[in-house]
Amino acid sequence: MNGQMNGQMPCLMALDCAEWALKVTEAVVGYNQMILHSPHRFLRMLAETKIKSISNQRRAKWETALMNLQLTVVADNRTNPASLMENEGSAHDCAEVIICDRGHFIRDEPFSDSLDMFVDGSSFYEGDTRYTGWAVVEGKTGEVLAEGSLRGGSAQIAELHALKAALNLALKLTAGENSSTNVNIFTDSAYSHNVVQSYGPVWKRRGYLTTAGTPISHQTVIKEILDTCEENSTKQCRSM
């Protein structure tokens, strides 16, 4: 398993292994018919799921290999060596597992009749001095719920601090008697959005390391964000 797949869902690891197995046997099989047996529903995964944690290039490799006309993919639950892998887990729906990988606290659509928070961060130079700050604003009234400045740092880290502050506010606002309150958090930062919606679970399983084995950028604040993610809906919106 290469470094890029380390930390991915077991179903996706199996899919990558299937593509590799087909590639290394290509010289032997040629253009003859082949049957691939697996307990995973590879074709359904490719046809019905949007896998945000892998690149379009890798997905194209999988589709080219698994959707070959000379290949028949059979869903087979019979005992095979793969079933002895400790991370294989129990019977499951691969597509459903991938869709739910972001965790129970993430939704694809915002709540209705809820409290909306908008977060933003920025960084700029004035002369030789760099100013970096962030804010959390209530959507309906425009009230500034939280704000702060950072000593140096990029706009990217400012966006992350804004998101972390909004998540902490949301947890307080939905605690106790207000547990039925729903909160939407909107950000114009694709990076912050993807930290929660796409890459977070992979980084967490990987121990917050890159594919090269080095710590990810902004490791501390990203870990805090993922640890405080609860029943909130983090959505990306256009920059105001």
- The DSSP H or E segment spanning 170 is helix 155-173
Residue boundaries of the structural domains of the chain: 3-102, 115-236
What CATH number labels 115-236?
3.30.420.10
More confident residue, 20 or 81: 20
Per residue in 128-177, pLDDT (tens digit) is 899 999 999 999 999 999 999 998 889 999 999 999 999 999 888 887 77
Considering only 156-160, 201-205, 218-222, which range has the smallest mean pLDDT? Answer: 201-205
Which secondary-structure segment (H or E) carries 13? helix 10-24
The 8-class DSSP code of residue 126 comes to: E
Task: Of 229, 171, 172, give the one whose Cα is nearest residue 200.
Answer: 229
Please state, in angstroms and rounded to a whole number, the distance separating the CA atoms of residues 118 and 144. Answer: 10
Per-residue pLDDT reduced to its tens digit, 92-128: 777 666 666 655 456 667 888 889 999 999 999 999 8
User: What is the helix (H) or strand (E) element at residue 96, kind and residue range?
Assistant: helix 94-99
Beta partners for residue 217, in sequence order: none
pLDDT of 88 > 60? The answer is no
Quick one: which of 136, 195, 140, 143 has its CA closest to 170? Answer: 136
